[in-house]
Structure formats: structure tokens, C-alpha cells
Homo-oligomer: A and B are copies of this chain.
Amino acid sequence: MANDKRYAQADNDALLRIFTIPEAPSSTLSKIEAEISKNLNGFLSNHIVATDKPLSEIEKDFASSALPERPEYVSAHTSQLLDTLIAQSVHTSAPGFIGHMTSALPYFLLPLSKLMVGLNQNLVKIETSKAFTPMERQVIGMMHRLVYGNDDEFYHHWMHFADSSLGAFCSGGTVANITALWVARNRLLAAKPGYKGVSEEGLAKGLKTYGYEDLAILVSERGHYSLKKAANILGLGHSSIIAIPTDTEHRIDCQRLREKCAELEENNIKVMAIVGIAGTTETGSLDPLTQLAEIALQYQAHFHVDAAWGGATLFSNKYRSRLQGIELADSVTIDAHKQMYVPMGAGLVLFKNPKVVAAIAHHAEYILRKGSKDLGSHTLEGSRPGMAMLLYASLHIISRPGYELLINQGIEKAKYFASLIERNDDFQLVSKPELCLLTYRYVPKATQLYLQQCTTSQAVKVNEILDRLTVVMQKMQREAGKSFVSRTRIPRQGQSSAAISVFRVVLANPLTTNDILQQVLVEQEEIANEQTDLLAQLQILITD
């Protein structure tokens, strides 16, 4: 019994130690930390295994569901993390990893992130965040100004105004889009005599009260899948998302949009929202936002712009006009963890009118009391970390002109890569870069010539082989581990009926050089040349 107690005391002391005694400088974890601080890219290059290991193999290291009954030493566990988890993670910041919207990060964000974790503020309310609340409100204010450009007086009045908000910080673009459409739905089905509003009485009674057959959200067929998710969660269903065809440049066809709006109105289906895309995920295309705003106004619909990826272009005085009309949006989504170079977990939704958040406001006794400036009273999420600090620091350290340089470089790099593709006889540029994103595929020159003059049914057969070629090439390139492009399926030249597989490239990483881009094509040509079976099949088809 006395022995038991002594053991318990020893365990207890060991446990308290992890809360009170820092890692020794000579420990494995401290050494890793020092290495990261000195040379992150070097650390990642040294520890992440470049060549591919099948997922089924990796899963063997993560197979036990048993709860550990024995504590592990920090150093032993760290070594295990290095060997299993880190070694088989993805080097998302590598200059040759140009397939997704990840990039290298500025160094100063590493120690700042650690500081953020150490401070462990909770932004849901002022009691657990204090200065972090006005700081986040300022960041939202700055981003609001970037989009809407109101005057000092507007921000002086609204930035720190209780029970209102210029937007909401959230974990990412999906939550931002859901929040925007949540606001749109709740404002549309607001309280009126005999109905307490959708937030109180729900959707079904709202439709009945307002006499709508249904609600619709209109967006181009290139809209992000999070919009469908939003429609699902909000109780509208995927069918409420009406996909409007795009033109040859993957921009929404405004004529078709107008026709659809008129048709819906005739059928008593209310256009709840029109969503413009400022940088589609698949092709980086930009919708004609000013025209969309006009149509939204005509139909009294909420106008939302999903600029999760392209929104940072507004920092560029040279290119910001490409997003013209965004300032007319009722709400805008921007992801700071995309082209604003902060780590994963930083999304934003901004509202033109700071009063609209009242439509989703909620209160509770122990926190978020009415009249408070607690940010949690109008966010989808509850407890949230102080991620806004990383954006605050980036805005000050990089500054607007710095972001402009980064944005401009990305766009120019994409133009350069597009020119490389166009100059190479065996590649085909599928979507030109409007921003720093483009798509292309490998098509041997003879096949390209054949496609220009063959029949539709012949083209279908050729494209089928080309699709298989694209898929296998992308997979082999990924597995080789030198560079990475992603792939998707998009309609060829706006023909919705005939989608093709393409390589997709995002050039946001400032460390990606022209040399690396040249190498990507060289490597792809080598891989293509190894696909003798598929190339032979192509040859047969085009000489048939």
C-alpha cells in the first residue's frame, strides 16, 4: 500500500516534469528544432524519403488501435516520428512540388507559430484572448479594406464595433464559404410577421412563409466542391447548386446565367445567391465579377465571391484589376494559407455590410454575452487558435508591395511555363494562366495534328488513350519524388460533354525557378517516352 503510493508519486513527478521541465538542448527534439530553425528545407529534404512507398505499407506503421499503456520517452517517440511519420510525409514546400496550393513559408513564421502555441489563446471570447481579439479584428479590417477599399472613417466606426463584424476568421475556405451562404440564407428567410426567421423556425416553414418553391445557388461549373457541401449542410441539397456552363476560358457564361435566373424565377425558385469565382481551383480562371454583381442585383440575390485562392491578387497593383467587381460582392472568401504564405488553417470570409453577421449571431450566458465584442458570437467555429497573429505579422513584415512582388512573380512564372509548353511540340497547353495556375497535357505532335482534323468519335478514342497517358505519367512522376504536378479532369475548350485529363500546376512558391520548370517538362518527356504501349496505341489510332 505504502509502496503503491510511492510509485504513484514517482509517476506523478514524471508527469509533472513534462509540464515544467523543458526539453534539454541535447535531446533529439531540440536537435530537430535547431535543424529546422537553421535550414528547414534541408531538414525536410534530408528526412522526407523522396521515392514513393505504397500507402498500404505506410499504414503498417499506424496499425495499432490500442491505447499506449506505457509512456514513451520524448526522444524515443521523436525518433519514431522521424522514421515513420516525417519520412513518409509530403515535402509540400519543395520548389518542385508545384501541384497544389502549398508553398515554402517565410522563416519568421516558425518561431511565431511556436509563440502562438505557447500563448494558447482562444479567440472565441475576449476573456481568453484579450488583445488577440482587437488584433484579429484589425486583420479582418485590413483584409476588408483590401477588397472593399472603404475610407478611414468606415473602418474607424466598424472595425471594433460590438455585435458586428467585417468578417470572420476561420480554419479555411470551406468554412468561409459555408459561413457566407449561411448568412445569405438567413438574410433571405428573415423574420417577418408570423415567422421568426430561418434561424429560429427552420427552412421548411421559411419556404412556405415566403412562398418559394425552392432556393437556388448559381455558380459556374468550375465552382469548388465546398459549395455543394455548403448547400448540403444548410439543408438546401446539392440540387440547389445550379452549375452554369463556362466559355472557352472557363469563365461563367453570363448569358446562360441570365437565362437560368429567369427560368428559375418563372418556376418560383428563388435565386438565393450567385457565386463568382476569382481563381477557380482547377484552371485559375476568373469570372466576370462586375457582370455577376449586376445580375445578382437584378434578382435581389446575395453575391458571393469565392476568392479563396485568387483573392491575394488584390495586393498586386499591376494585376488587381483582373478581379474588378469583387468590391461589389456581399461576401468574399480568401484563404491566407494559400497565396498569403501563412501555415495551414487560416481562412477568411469578409462582409461588405458589417451588420449582416447579425443573421447568424448567437449568444450564451457564460460567454458571448450580448453587446460584447467576442468574436465567437458570429463564427461557425467555437474555440479557435490565435492564427490571425501569423497573418498580422506577415502583413506587416511582407507588406503590401512585398505581396505584390510575390503575386506578380507567380503570374510571370506561369506565363514562362506556358511559353515552355507552347514551344514544345509534344505538349499542349489546355488552359492559359490568368493567374499563376495552368493546365496542360502531353500530346505527341503527330497526335495533335491528327486531333485538328479528325472526327469527334475519332477524337474520343484518342483522348481516351491520352487520358490514360496523363494519369500514368502523373503517378510515375509523383512516385519518382523529384517533382510533383497534380491532375484533374476539365472540359476541353468549354465543351462540357468532353472532359479530358490534364496536368495542373500552381506556381506560387517563390523558390521555384525557371530551371526547375524546364526540368519538370524534361522529366515528363522521359516518362512519356517510356510508355511505349500507350504511344503505340496512339500511333495505331492516328494512322488508322
* Alpha-carbon distance between A335 and B122 when the two chains are bound, in angstroms: 13
Instruction: Pick the most buried of A107, A214, A409: most chain B CB atoms within 10 A of its CB.
Output: A107
How many copies make up the complex?
A: 2
Q: What is the minimal beta-carbon distance from A32 to any residue of chain B, in angstroms?
A: 7
| A70→B366 contact, CB < 8 A | no
Residue A418 at the chain B interface, CB threshold 8 Å: no
Residue A534 at the chain B interface, CB threshold 8 Å: no
| A63→B487 contact, CB < 8 A | no
Residue A211 at the chain B interface, CB threshold 8 Å: no
Segment from A11-19, A247-255, A422-430, A443-451 that makes contact with B: A11-19
| A232→B362 contact, CB < 8 A | yes
- Give the size of the chain A interface in residues (CB under 8 angstroms): 179
| Set of chain B residues within 8 Å of A232, measured between Cβ atoms | 182, 186, 198-199, 360, 362
From B55, B114, B182, B384, A373 is in contact (CB under 8 Å) with B55
| Set of chain B residues within 8 Å of A536, measured between Cβ atoms | none
Residue A531 at the chain B interface, CB threshold 8 Å: no
Instruction: Pick the most buried of A108, A119, A511: most chain B CB atoms within 10 A of its CB.
Output: A119
| A70→B239 contact, CB < 8 A | no
Contacts A66-B142, A92-B122 known; A81 to B400 CB distance under 8 Å? no
Q: What is the minimal beta-carbon distance from A456 to any residue of chain B, in angstroms?
A: 22
Q: CB-nearest residue of chain B relative to A368?
A: B225
A192-220: CB near B (< 8 Å → 1, else 0) gives 00001111111111010000001000000
Q: CB-nearest residue of chain B relative to A499?
A: B365
Segment from A144-152, A292-300, A457-465, A517-525 that makes contact with B: A144-152
| B131→A366 contact, CB < 8 A | no
| B62→A111 contact, CB < 8 A | no
Q: CB-nearest residue of chain B relative to A52?
A: B130
| A236→B202 contact, CB < 8 A | yes
Q: What is the minimal beta-carbon distance from A212 to any residue of chain B, in angstroms?
A: 9
Q: CB-nearest residue of chain B relative to A14?
A: B402
| B172→A382 contact, CB < 8 A | yes
* Alpha-carbon distance between A87 and B156 when the two chains are bound, in angstroms: 23
Residue A516 at the chain B interface, CB threshold 8 Å: no
* Alpha-carbon distance between A293 and B230 when the two chains are bound, in angstroms: 30
* Alpha-carbon distance between A137 and B282 when the two chains are bound, in angstroms: 28
| B145→A128 contact, CB < 8 A | no
| Set of chain B residues within 8 Å of A389, measured between Cβ atoms | 81, 85
Q: What is the minimal beta-carbon distance from A68 to any residue of chain B, in angstroms?
A: 4
Residue A468 at the chain B interface, CB threshold 8 Å: no
Instruction: Pick the most buried of A22, A186, A235: most chain B CB atoms within 10 A of its CB.
Output: A235
* Alpha-carbon distance between A80 and B19 when the two chains are bound, in angstroms: 29
| A399→B55 contact, CB < 8 A | no
| A236→B235 contact, CB < 8 A | yes
| Set of chain B residues within 8 Å of A141, measured between Cβ atoms | 65
* Alpha-carbon distance between A114 and B63 when the two chains are bound, in angstroms: 26
Residue A1 at the chain B interface, CB threshold 8 Å: no
Q: CB-nearest residue of chain B relative to A132?
A: B89
| B383→A172 contact, CB < 8 A | yes
| B366→A487 contact, CB < 8 A | yes
Residue A46 at the chain B interface, CB threshold 8 Å: no
| A118→B385 contact, CB < 8 A | no
From B77, B127, B205, B487, A393 is in contact (CB under 8 Å) with B77
From B59, B107, B138, A134 is in contact (CB under 8 Å) with B59
Q: CB-nearest residue of chain B relative to A93?
A: B120
| Set of chain B residues within 8 Å of A118, measured between Cβ atoms | 36, 40, 43-44, 105, 110
Instruction: Pick the most buried of A41, A61, A132, A224: most chain B CB atoms within 10 A of its CB.
Output: A132
Q: CB-nearest residue of chain B relative to A201?
A: B237
Contacts A85-B135, A343-B117, A511-B19 known; A202 to B239 CB distance under 8 Å? yes
| B113→A117 contact, CB < 8 A | yes
A364-390: CB near B (< 8 Å → 1, else 0) gives 111010000100000011111110010
Residue A126 at the chain B interface, CB threshold 8 Å: yes
Instruction: Pick the most buried of A118, A155, A405: most chain B CB atoms within 10 A of its CB.
Output: A118
| A65→B155 contact, CB < 8 A | yes
| Set of chain B residues within 8 Å of A231, measured between Cβ atoms | 202
From B90, B119, B121, B344, A127 is in contact (CB under 8 Å) with B90
A456-497: CB near B (< 8 Å → 1, else 0) gives 000000000000000000000010000010111110000000
| Set of chain B residues within 8 Å of A107, measured between Cβ atoms | 18-23
Segment from A96-104, A257-265, A350-358 that makes contact with B: A96-104
* Alpha-carbon distance between A12 and B64 when the two chains are bound, in angstroms: 49
* Alpha-carbon distance between A62 and B423 when the two chains are bound, in angstroms: 51
| A198→B156 contact, CB < 8 A | no
* Pairs A-B, 7 closest by C-beta atoms: A235-B235, A202-B237, A366-B488, A88-B131, A174-B382, A65-B155, A203-B235
Q: Mind listing 20 A-B residue pairs with CB under 8 Å?
A: A11-B402, A18-B106, A19-B105, A29-B108, A58-B131, A65-B144, A66-B152, A88-B130, A90-B121, A90-B128, A90-B130, A105-B120, A113-B113, A113-B114, A175-B381, A200-B237, A205-B237, A233-B233, A282-B365, A345-B384
